[in-house]
Amino acid sequence: MGLNLLEKLVKTHLVSGEMRIGAEISISIDQTLTEDPLGTMAYLQFEAMGVPKVKTRLSVSYVDHCMLQEGFENPDDHRYLQTVAAKHGILFSKPGNGICHQVHLERFSSPGETLIGADSHTPTCGAVGMLAMGAGGLDVAVAMAGGAFYLSYPTVVRINLHGQLKPWSTAKDVILEILGRLTTKGNVGKVIEFGGEGIETLSVPERSTLTNMGAELGVTTSIFPSDEITRQFFTAQGREEQWREFLPDADARYDETIDIDLQTIEPNVALPHSPDNVCKVREAGFLKVDQVLIGSCTNSSYRDLMIAARMLKGKKVHPDVSFGVAAGSRQVLRMIAENGALNDIIDSGARILETSCGFCAGYGQAPQSGGVSIRTNNRNFEGRSGTKDAKVYLVSPEVAVASALTGQLTDPSDLNIDHPIVPVPERFYIDDSMVIWPPADGVEVYRGPNISDPPHPTPLPENLLAGVAIKLGDKITTDHIIPAGPVSRYRSNIPKSSDFIFHKVDPLFAERCKDYKKKGMASVIVAGLSYGQGSSREHAALCPSYLGVRAVIARSIERIHMANLVNFGILPLIFNDPQDYEKMQPGDELCVENTSQALNNPTMQIKNLSRGYMFEVSFSLTPRQVAIIRGGGLLSLYGSDSPIAM
């Protein structure tokens, strides 16, 4: 039996474990990436490990989120990131060079290699045959220090793409179709491998849209083969010598197969407030539009912006629409400026936004109160845009432009114009001068007043007494737990960041946890299905740990967030009986006796002291993870004699 792409990638990087579904394995990591709000803490944790130079083949630190310098916090963090990178052998991509996933795909991606990044959309580079996965910052720090990356061996879902997309149907519509079918829940522990003759019709930027938004499914990652299409992309990037063919074997086995006829795909839209709330644009009904934004790591490539420019040429956007466009990288911006496409975008009435994550992650461009915003990014969680009552719709660049021109949600085929065809350039504009390579000499690391040391949690107590600090529903995202946007300026300051945990859900949560601490008690978070979906931001676990949270009890927990909980000493527990979730109320006091013994079994008995009953929870922790929980977190054990440290 031949091997699929995941099997080939894991086999060549396997450090420990058995390639068996559900078994814990560890793999070596070739590359890492970080972005600024999560990178600051990752490098503080790396520094705490005492390793002088990174041991990965390549590590890159990007600044692409916290670009607005309205106070000292962001520029101080940027200077810290540049100097700590210089000291430890890390490349530094300066502000303005572009979004980490777009730039990494263009300039550093490598077929057949492994990549983890402190951002959930790291699977973007799966478009060229990499095993690219989002992870917590501490996992990235461990990899930079030479440690392996641990994960449960996943099942592999083969999605066969057949035929060719019709004019006005796009890769964005394909991934929205997949999200509509598979939803954002129930896909933990899966990897998607794309195949079928239809992939030959998709360029690397189109493939990257699929792998990028695979993160919204909750899968471990998504992968395309590295083929002739990939070679053309690498050649145009001046990196042909870094390309290699990387294909699955003809007789490879898959755990599940899904077939999609590209010819049947129509322009889709994800309605508020979830990427899987999908319908066809034609079925969405009349919708007056207030704002249209094109950009993000999902749809900001040269191809995306050239399509937009050609649709806009000689036209003006609707007078009631606020319209903004952001290139994903300086390479893209430079190319559309040189060929005149940028002028067509400007002449249409667009605002040209910085080459950054910007609006996608809640950094500016908030809609008006109750506004309707049409966007090409990957998430439309409630409040993520910066306006609590705004309604965000996710679409392709083609639908976005059509809607900007008409002032209402519009299927672009109704414009009665030909769909633009944008071939892959024979040569992209190449200038890596804004990527700073580490110097040979030592560098003093700059530390502004906003930077604090990473906290070191205490070991799990033998008898755990805790209060339920909050009870939540289903599909709680990391945006619910700790907001994106302006408060990210405090990501390097854990005490300050912790004040914002659940701030938009329950502004008294942090104070409640502090009150439990004063009583000598821990805190517990109770949640429903799919807790912790969305961003990989480890602060959604690190800050609760700082506040004294020692357990999350939920009906299900997403992969990256569960790993982050373990890394910071928080027990990830699952209700065995959904009725126990229903009975639990905020303020209930819970007790787990003899935790050291309780962790030896896959189930645990918890007593609800307030209501006088016992209930059972389960957990799927490996012996390594149990040791981390007992020790209070991974960082406190790093450098000890424990074999789990690396």
41 and 144, same domain (yes or no)? yes
pLDDT of 293: 98
Percentage helix, strand, coil for the chain under 3-state DSSP, each rounded to 5? 35, 20, 45
Low-confidence ranges of the chain (pLDDT < 70): 638-646
| Sole residue written with tokens 């952001």 | 326
| Sole residue written with tokens 């074999």 | 643
260 and 284, same domain (yes or no)? no
227 and 318, same domain (yes or no)? no
307 and 200, same domain (yes or no)? no
* CATH assignment at residue 508: 3.20.19.10
**What is the extent of the structural domain holding 379?**
268-414
Backbone angles phi, psi at 551, to 5 degrees: -155, 145
* CATH assignment at residue 305: 3.30.499.10
Q: What are the DSSP calls for 52-93, one per residue?
A: SS--SSEEEEE--S----SSSHHHHHHHHHHHHHHHHT-EEE
18 and 105, same domain (yes or no)? yes
Rg (CA), the chain: 24
Hey, is 565 helix, strand or coil? helix
236 and 321, same domain (yes or no)? no
Distance CA 41, CA 47 (A): 10
63 and 181, same domain (yes or no)? yes
Hey, is 21 helix, strand or coil? coil
527 and 387, same domain (yes or no)? no
For 151, the token pair is 């994960």
Q: Which of 378, 368, 323 is nearest to 349 (CA)?
A: 323
Structural domains of the chain, count = 3
Please say whether the beta carbons of 487 and 575 come within 8 A: no
Tell me whether residue 432 is in a domain: no
pLDDT of 635: 82
Per-residue model confidence as pLDDT tens digits over 165-183: 999 999 999 999 999 999 9
Taking residue 577's Cβ as centre, other Cβ atoms within 10 Å add up to 11
pLDDT of 638: 64
Tell me whether residue 47 is in a domain: yes
pLDDT of 185: 86
pLDDT of 58: 98
Tell me whether residue 344 is in a domain: yes
Where in 284-367 does DSSP place strands (E)?
A: 291-294, 322-326, 351-353
206 and 299, same domain (yes or no)? no
Tell me whether residue 453 is in a domain: no
12 and 128, same domain (yes or no)? yes
pLDDT of 640: 41
Please say whether the beta carbons of 312 and 294 come within 8 A: no
Distance CA 607, CA 590 (A): 6
Is cis: bond before 273, omega within 30 of 0? yes
pLDDT of 440: 82
Distance CA 33, CA 265 (A): 34
Tell me whether residue 534 is in a domain: yes
Please say whether the beta carbons of 292 and 322 come within 8 A: yes
β-bridge partners, 320: none
